């Protein structure tokens, strides 16, 4: 391991509250290659402008497919004015998302964004299908899985704390289109019940005015 990589990993482990002795464990993660790692974004991090807020080194690889998981919504967010997306193991489902290559220096940043240290999400390594190949990628899965599939609920029965804001859903849709995710999946995303709330500052920041749901 060269000095540059060792320094990056030391910073990561310190930010995560781990011992320096665990540096080698991070380097051994399947999604890590050299001083970079692969990350699978299925929610707001499908959009380049969004992921670059906290992970400026992220470089898009393209659309990728993850089998045996489904997208859902839970965990209300004041920032987004509604529930944010999560991903739940489900053998009958599959999820499209964006595959990114990110510098290891940003790994603590994405861990913090996903509130790993608060116990909201946990990182996992999954195999995603990208360009007819299996690629190991980092995925963040919610610790307390929501009950029931919110997409299959009648609109009038979707709990308010399981509804994303209009702004958040537009970010997901724009990110999916931008990443080249299949049209049928974009249409499926648009079918989620939202709470009709907008965050004007974020609408401007992520240029969402033309996004249709």
Catalytic residues: 114
Q: Alpha-carbon distance 87 to 12, whole Å?
A: 25
Q: Alpha-carbon distance 213 to 204, whole Å?
A: 17
**Exposed, middle or buried: residue 91 (CB in 10 Å: 0-12, 13-18, 19+)?**
exposed
**Partner residues linked to 40 by β-bridges:** 99
Q: Which residue has the tokens 């992220």?
A: 58
Q: How far apart are the first and last CA of the chain?
A: 48
* Distances from the Cα of 159 to the Cα of 83, 172, 195, angstroms: 10, 20, 10
212: left (phi over 0), alpha (psi -120 to 50) or beta: beta
């Amino acid at each position: 391991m060269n000095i540059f990589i060792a320094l990056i990993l030391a910073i990561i482990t310190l930010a995560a509250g781990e011992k320096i002795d665990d540096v080698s464990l991070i380097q051994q993660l399947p999604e890590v290659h050299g001083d970079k790692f692969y990350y699978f974004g299925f929610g707001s991090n499908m959009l380049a402008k969004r992921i670059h807020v906290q992970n400026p080194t992220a470089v898009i690889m393209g659309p990728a497919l993850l089998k045996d998981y489904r997208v859902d919504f839970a965990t209300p967010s004041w920032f987004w004015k509604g529930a944010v997306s999560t991903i739940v193991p489900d053998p009958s489902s599959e999820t499209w998302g964006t595959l990114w290559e990110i510098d290891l220096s940003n790994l603590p940043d994405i861990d913090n964004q996903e509130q790993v240290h608060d116990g909201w999400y946990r990182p996992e390594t999954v195999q995603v299908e990208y360009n007819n190949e299996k690629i190991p990628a980092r995925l963040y899965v919610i610790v307390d899985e929501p009950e029931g599939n919110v997409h299959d609920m009648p609109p009038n029965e979707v709990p308010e704390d399981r509804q994303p804001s209009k702004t958040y859903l537009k970010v997901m849709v724009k990110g999916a289109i931008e990443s080249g995710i299949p049209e049928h999946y974009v249409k499926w995303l648009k079918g989620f019940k939202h709470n009709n709330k907008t965050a004007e500052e974020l609408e401007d920041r992520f240029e969402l005015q033309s996004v249709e749901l």
